[in-house]
Structure 1
């Protein structure tokens, strides 16, 4: 077997291996869903004294609950948006130092009011109302 035949057989073997291993490929639970809309009918309350909600006791902190990303911005106000990017539904993070929501998968950025500041997303995030009463934070549509 000469060098050309050898390299051709390696290439064919690699392509066959990739095809066999990817034959059942489909979107996994870690992949985005087709739905890029935020949840509707939102109405829940977070107890800010509970340890599971401790991220919201500091400015710049955030958490995800009921499909909603709830953040406490640098001025201490609470903001709530859908938890997933409107581009392909990957999970968002809140970057408190930059006052924005960010999708690490494709680089989309959104302001605190949900508007797109950098694509590839082209649609604003669904936003939700917040109401603080004592140590209870209500998030609602």
Structure 2
């Protein structure tokens, strides 16, 4: 194989890789449908006295457990939604100051009730029930 043939083959391979990576990000490949759903059969309890759960003692604090994002609102209520964005399964964060869940990857935002506020997500989050008993926080479907 001579030098010209080598660069021709390498160029075609690199171009193919570039095209495939661009196709993967195109809007047409997304088809506008969200298929990411939250876990089902959720039923766990968090001990609010444990250091691992200390974030939930402060208004605006949050943590992830068992595929669920649990947060304490600025009003002091506990809320729980699926941990991943309905757009492409990236982890969400809770922004207590703006009272919303946010995906840092593509910018989707959701209300504290899990309702889509910002695209590209087009499906609401799965919301879970919470119940405080003493220092225990139960999260369940």
Q: Give unpaired runs (5+ residues) of structure 2.
A: 1-6, 21-33
In the TM superposition, what is the alpha-carbon distance from 1:90 to its structure 2 partner?
0.6
The number of residues matched between the two structures is 122
Are positions 1:96 and 2:96 aligned together? yes
Provide the residue aligned with 1:54 in structure 2: 54
Q: Could you tell me which residue of structure 2 aligns to residue 40 of structure 1?
A: 40
CA RMSD of aligned residues (A): 2.5
Partner Cα separation in structure 1 for residue 12 and residue 104 of structure 2: 30
Q: How does 1:79-118 map to 2 (within 5 A)?
A: 79-118=79-118
Q: Does 1:121 align with 2:100?
A: no
**Counterpart position of 1:5:** none
What secondary structure is seen at the aligned counterpart in 1 of 2:86?
Answer: coil
Runs of 4+ displaced beyond 2 Å: 11-20
Deviations 1:98-119 (A, max 9, x none): 0000001110000000000111
Instruction: Report how far residue 35 of structure 1 moved.
Output: 5.2
Task: Structure 1: state its 5+ residue gaps.
Answer: 1-8, 24-33
